[in-house]
Structure 1
């Protein structure tokens, strides 16, 4: 009886084998080299201005031959996205989404999926040489991030000592220029993306390879980002991820002094950061310098008076426009779910995550006291549309595919971690879940790197690193 012709046999054909020439590995190494340089002026998107996923897409297409051992995993993920994309198409029409946003929503799904394919193909293609090639890949990544760190140092000096030549040269290269806002951004699209790179890419690579140069780079980058005043999110990232990692290393350290020393270290970290980062101090400790007021600002009728608004803007979420607007977007989306619970179950349509945000806009605006109104007003404008609405992957998945898609996705990630033989698997999962609380693009590498590492380190396979 003849063997049934399937996808595995198709990918084994000479055509696909010829495409997967060893020379195509250059593309994978090129992608690694471009990881931190995601803000180039010629990048196709301004939301996340990067060319790296496009390079990985090309590598994945050329090396489909090496996907054969991983087809069971690939089929599961493909069917998941296919099923919910069909649902998202139906709900997009039902909730009157924009067709251009619908088409655009397929881009991050496609680039993210092919990002995973490229990781699996590279692993299979290298065979017994994988460890050697991984070390080379890691060295390229270290060198690239060191260069971007030096660029950040140049930005810091340009802003501190008013050096327009450096600022203008970098501004010419950048797709989005935060130097004009007196903020160091290294070579990232936004300063808030720093943590995604440090803890979504470099940290997993360190845990996998144990290359101490990576750990040094993470610490140096973290310190520099805080010193340069690059943003508030990186401080929160460092603080929370350090706590998660401390539980991992606590099991390995029997010295009882570890806990009190850890508490002292946390206190010193918060104190020192508050001293050098004005935005952080204002959000979390601005209340310490609050003046005496004549009104009770806890009462609803007083909250919109000039006196109470001035007090609210001195500390807390409303004291920082960027932070406040992000929280506002998430709150308006959640309030929107309450107004249309059907969409919460089924999603509001692929590319239509703005729909629940608009539904809850008026209610969320009642609690918004920040003086920064641009993003709040933009969401109220019927002509405004954006593929980044809440800056949170969880609300984006719910908004486009429904709550069941999110629950299935989380269960899939947990199940992958459960089958892995790595002792830090659950800590890694917690870090990943935290990172995507403030990031929503499915084309970013962190989640696909997690899937690849967990899958390849399962009890049936052993990641040779």
Structure 2
């Protein structure tokens, strides 16, 4: 069971997984099942990590006030709590495996290496399928992936067909590199393990390969930072020859960064125009700014949150203040887009890219992302919600099913001049 959980780490975007906002992981639930099937060891692990065990209970108690004021949304609450519970469950599973049962960390690292090399090989196959127009392969992944970036006509491929490995989307490469592979490499380096070098090679190949295969603009910055970390960890800075080697590679990274910003229109637009230069970059700002402004409008929620599943209430409360801030910061039309996005949000479709807003507001976006360090758990609490046929009282919408593998709903706000729109999988 534990081995299956490790092997399933990169498989977070298939139809086989349990749906969480904008991804369908398998590993967290296998880790949870592994912990539950070892009740004696689980009891000891729960006592050892008692502070994590009480977190879900504490969030439920804190949510009581928000539920009383802003209502209860059952499905969104389930989304929130399953993600939160998966965190301590994963920690307990790792404790049971490596402390109680003393399973081999070497075998575990081998499993992680094997499964991520397999995922990369899948990405290569996808790339060939796109560029050689191999319809059967594209159709296969169109059925396997919950949101296919390889299927013509899919809502997710509107910016071009791209390999996505086995991830929910191509840009999740960065999440796996920073959330799993780099921490694992750091742990292996501390022990002077040969596997640290193998992990380093895997990271470099995954990052460079992703860039060469054009998985997306967003991964460029992730890749540069990841390469910098690898260089800093790999070079022996006290040795003169090693120091020269490291400085040379750092200079190469700087040159690559400058070239990327000059050659990539989206990156250069961010440099020239700031946050208004790229819609995706701006979206990461206003999607978190709205609920944070909701805390400012209702200061008591800084202590209790709006209640699990009620992040839409925080968005609506903070919408006007957030728009004012964006306009003052020179967001221009982006402030109008943000206002339209704020109006559309409901309890089951709101999303945020901020771990703080996800957890402090006890939102339906509180999900765990593939938590793994082989001696200590690490998890991420940011996520994306899904939309329903209704987009709120201020919006009209049109539902379009344009993909065999995954029906999608396009919701466009018709009030005011907002061009804001959202696309997300229907359930």
TM-score, L = length of structure 2: 0.73
CA–CA distance in structure 2, aligned partners of residues 162 and 31 of structure 1: 33
2:341 is the alignment partner of 1:391:
no
2:261 is the alignment partner of 1:328:
no
SS in 2 for 1:332: helix
Q: Is the contact made by 2:371 and 2:377 (CA closer than 8 Å) also made in structure 1?
A: no
The one of 367, 370, 383 equivalent to 1:445 is 370
CA–CA distance in structure 1, aligned partners of residues 133 and 210 of structure 2: 19
Q: CA deviation at 1:60?
A: 0.8
1:98-122 Cα distance to aligned partner (Å, 9 max, x none) = 2332233211112222111111111
CA–CA distance in structure 1, aligned partners of residues 68 and 132 of structure 2: 54
Q: Is the contact made by 2:7 and 2:115 (CA closer than 8 Å) also made in structure 1?
A: yes
Supply the RMSD in Å over aligned alpha carbons: 3.1
1:352-411 Cα distance to aligned partner (Å, 9 max, x none) = 22222222223434545567988864541264623x62121112122229xxxxxxxxxx
The one of 225, 238, 254 equivalent to 2:210 is 225
SS in 1 for 2:165: coil
Distance 1:361 1:161, change over 3 A: farther
Q: CA deviation at 1:32?
A: 1.1
Query: Which deviates the most, 217-226 or 355-364?
Result: 355-364
Determine the structure 1 residue equivalent to 2:255: 268
Distance 1:153 1:317, change over 3 A: farther
* Match runs of 1:415-430 below 5 Å: none
Determine the structure 1 residue equivalent to 2:344: 381
* Match runs of 1:35-114 below 5 Å: 35-45=9-19, 47-67=22-42, 69-114=44-89
Q: Is the contact made by 2:359 and 2:366 (CA closer than 8 Å) also made in structure 1?
A: no
Q: Is the contact made by 2:65 and 2:304 (CA closer than 8 Å) also made in structure 1?
A: no
Aligned length: 355
CA–CA distance in structure 1, aligned partners of residues 337 and 124 of structure 2: 30
Distance 1:44 1:247, change over 3 A: closer
CA–CA distance in structure 1, aligned partners of residues 247 and 276 of structure 2: 33
Determine the structure 1 residue equivalent to 2:180: 201
TM-score, L = length of structure 1: 0.67
1:324-352 Cα distance to aligned partner (Å, 9 max, x none) = 22221012222222212111232111222
- Which structure's residues are more often helix, by fraction? 1
Q: CA deviation at 1:248?
A: 6.0
CA–CA distance in structure 1, aligned partners of residues 375 and 59 of structure 2: 22
Q: Is the contact made by 1:344 and 1:398 (CA closer than 8 Å) also made in structure 2?
A: yes
* Match runs of 1:331-370 below 5 Å: 331-365=289-323, 367=327, 368-369=331-332
CA–CA distance in structure 2, aligned partners of residues 390 and 270 of structure 1: 28
Distance 1:201 1:267, change over 3 A: same
Determine the structure 2 residue equivalent to 1:190: 169
Distance 1:110 1:178, change over 3 A: same
